[in-house]
Structure 1
Amino acid sequence: MERPITLRVAIVHHWFVTRGGGERVAECLAALFPQAELFTLVAAPPGLPDSLKNRTLHTSFLQKLPFGTTHHRHMMPLYPAAAASLDLRAFDLVLSSDSGPVKGIRLSPHATHICYCHSPMRYLYDGYEAYRDGMKGLTRAIFSATAGYVRRRDLASAAKVTYFLSNSNYVAARIQRFYHRDSRVIHPPIDLHRAVIAENPGAHYLAAGRLVPYKRTELMIEACNRLGRPLRVSGTGPEIARLKKIAGPTVTFLGELSTVDLWREYSQCRALLFAADEDFGMVPLEAQACGRPVIAYGAGGSLETVSPTTGVFFPEQTAASLEQGILDFEGREASFIPKTTQLWAETFATPVFLRAIRDFVLEKLPSAANEIVPAADIDRIAGAS
């Protein structure tokens, strides 16, 4: 009797520093392969999901540098060397959750590398000029001098990936544009166990997310200022002082909320406002999971996460366009049914993601059947991860 083939499996994620959609993807990949070892550039306790805290985790030399976990985003020139320091040549199957740096890990020439790409690094490609223009002094000089080198290393690493997965059709087009590679779209998972439809939601709008420039939170504030509509803003970030200066009396800043409190805010809002050009965007789906409609900028991932029956799109990334979007929504607010909205969000649930990843892995590498969890266990691990 032949012995079953045993593969060594590794899961790689760019960094575990804060919790977000990328960390959720990595957590789900690890749940599918309970014996897999984990690799990352840097890790800090707040960014490591509870389900992974007892797993074997390897980090790069960035972990040992002063401020390595707190200032990792400023260490871009070191990313290629840090990724190459992760030696995975003993592994047969590697699944990476990546927004850029870790495609350059060291692999055996016979290994299968499946990269779930959240996005090619915007600051190296189509967002290069905007990011550089926002920098000053020495930071700008170092970025300008090293970005070309990091970009070349990123392109070389992308060419060695066996298969690409993308989190949206929008990102799939960017992968094709910059890497000249095809990818299969598998939307990332949302965790629905906190989703509740409120019987009597409030009269206020909600903006949620990190307060950074590309989120365009100022558009939501300006629109609500002009219309006199109440707006609650969840999150913190470098933009907060500027945003507070332009906020009118109807705008309330909530700060950084716990997960429980954030989901309560989702359920209680009149609608979520979303002005970013996102690669995917988890926040609109989380609001829809609570039955709340979304007023979103009609570009990027929002075109895939918001449907005509669950929200309204505004065509231009301006306060005036958003203002008109709010008025359009209010003119047909009664047509948005909370349960219909929630059912749409459920098509992005964690079990859907896990099954899609499992099917893809076994399609490309049938010998992984002995390492991946059985199909019958998907619902169980979806609840545990």
Structure 2
Amino acid sequence: MQVAIVHHWFVTRGGGERVAECIASLFPQAEIFTLLVDSRGTPDGLRHRGIHTSFLQKIPLAKSYHRHMMPLYPAATEGLDLRGFDLVISSDSGPIKGVRVDPEAVHICYCHSPMRYLYDGYEAYRAQMDPVTRAAFTLMAGRIRDWDREAAERVNYFIANSRYVADRIHRVYGRESTVIHPPIDLDRAQTSSRPEQHYLCAGRLVGYKRTELMIEACSRLGRTLRIAGTGPEEARLRKTAASGVTFLGELSTEALWREYAECRALLFAADEDFGMVPLEAQACGRPVIAYGVGGSLETVRAGEQVAAGEATGVYFGEQTVDSLIDGILRFEAAESAGAFDPVAIRRWAAGFSTEVFLQRMREFVMSVVPEAESSMALPGTR
């Protein structure tokens, strides 16, 4: 079969890019398509493979301001030439599900989420914009939303990265989906026999991550906090941070996993669709103090329903400093009582491994397109 793998853009490296890389590893002869590509955002496993791009690649500064290209998404997506492909697998949290494929082709969309800035997060994103940008965004959002819903109708099968996103796909697009959780690269996991006493938060410093809650909570409690990552919120957050907060900047992959292994626990305050960072910390045997909504309910084991010795963290109930402080204090009390077993935490994270993801993806594709088996890499290779 002629197979194409399509991802919205390779501009920054994150969970979506990791998923696209793993899907591509299943189909070593597949061609790769995207709207924009930057060397910094290209996964190592795709660097040797030619990547086809849209006309957005030729627009100056488009890589830096790719989210401002929203009015051009439909034309750029539909302009990708996918004629002649029998199977198209898209990795999408934006517009790329709207690619045009041959009538006989099968299109499987691995959906990280419908575009949050058009649906669930619409008002929150608008509130952060300056008046001119807000007015322009408001004018175009309805048109892009209509196009996105129409594009979803052209997909043959949806895969969701979490039950949380599966519910959103059903609500927004009226489509059912199969849940296959994203892959965690356990090969990079490290462990420490004597973790430090500081807390860690990691990820892009953007508004919805609510990093300011973690800074304020640790400051009030007199706890030390290390922050791994950069982003547009960094300058503002640095101004509010107390002396016990250390900004680490963008770390190498090895350095980030070492931070996971050495922290007392990971703090996670975002309402995430899935959230790979908590699982990466758990892969290193470290517990997580997480906002108890969304993807965290699927990636962190906490609460009374968890058997003794099997908890991997605690939840806090509101995105407020007081609620997070309560979560930290409950965690510390449980920690003192020996509630968190690093071996059990790592065992839980192993259920989200790359091997599990590849097996489930292979089984799903073969269930809907049996003839694709001949185009796949042999099991156990990636």
Report what 1:343 is aligned to. Answer: 347
Report deviation, 1:372: 1.2
1:47-196 to 2 correspondences below 5 Å:
47-196=41-190
Pairs aligned (count): 372
- Say which of 313, 328, 340 aligns to 1:326: 328
TM-score by length of 2: 0.96
- Say which of 11, 15, 22 aligns to 1:17: 11
For 2:231, give the aligned amino acid.
G
In 2: Cα distance, 1:210 partner to 1:301 partner: 17
Report the secondary structure of 2:247's partner residue. strand
Segments of 4+ in structure 1 off by > 2 A? none
Structure 1: 5+ residue runs without aligned partners?
1-6
In 1: Cα distance, 2:44 partner to 2:331 partner: 39
For 2:317, give the aligned amino acid.
P
Report what 1:354 is aligned to. Answer: 358
User: Does residue 1:284 correspond to 2:261, yes or no?
Assistant: no
Report deviation, 1:50: 2.0
For 1:48, give the aligned amino acid.
T
In 1: Cα distance, 2:104 partner to 2:94 partner: 22
- Say which of 246, 250, 267 aligns to 1:252: 246
Superposed CA offset, 1:338-377 (max 9, x none): 11101111100000000000000000011111111233xx
In 2: Cα distance, 1:54 partner to 1:190 partner: 22
Identity of aligned residues (%): 65
Report deviation, 1:60: 0.3
Report what 2:370 is aligned to. Answer: 366
Superposed CA offset, 1:126-150 (max 9, x none): 1111111211133222211111111
Report deviation, 1:222: 0.8
For 2:313, give the aligned amino acid.
G
Report deviation, 1:43: 0.3
Report what 2:195 is aligned to. Answer: 201
Superposed CA offset, 1:278-301 (max 9, x none): 000010000000000000000000
Superposed CA offset, 1:22-73 (max 9, x none): 0111001110001100000000111112221221311000000111212111
In 2: Cα distance, 1:246 partner to 1:94 partner: 47
- Say which of 301, 314, 317 aligns to 1:315: 317
In 2: Cα distance, 1:145 partner to 1:89 partner: 33
Report what 2:305 is aligned to. Answer: none
User: Does residue 1:302 correspond to 2:296, yes or no?
Assistant: yes
In 1: Cα distance, 2:265 partner to 2:126 partner: 34
Report what 1:240 is aligned to. Answer: 234
Superposed CA offset, 1:231-262 (max 9, x none): 11111111112212221221111111111111
For 1:230, give the aligned amino acid.
T
In 1: Cα distance, 2:76 partner to 2:44 partner: 25
For 1:129, give the aligned amino acid.
E
In 2: Cα distance, 1:204 partner to 1:100 partner: 36
Q: Which stretch of structure 1 is more off in the superposition, 34-43 or 64-73?
A: 64-73
- Say which of 269, 272, 290 aligns to 2:266: 272
Report the secondary structure of 1:10's partner residue. strand
In 1: Cα distance, 2:282 partner to 2:139 partner: 43
In 2: Cα distance, 1:370 partner to 1:256 partner: 41
User: Does residue 1:8 correspond to 2:2, yes or no?
Assistant: yes
In 2: Cα distance, 1:245 partner to 1:33 partner: 47
Report deviation, 1:89: 2.2
TM-score by length of 1: 0.95
Report what 1:4 is aligned to. Answer: none
Superposed CA offset, 1:205-226 (max 9, x none): 0011111110000110111011
In 2: Cα distance, 1:69 partner to 1:263 partner: 27
Structure 2: 5+ residue runs without aligned partners?
303-310
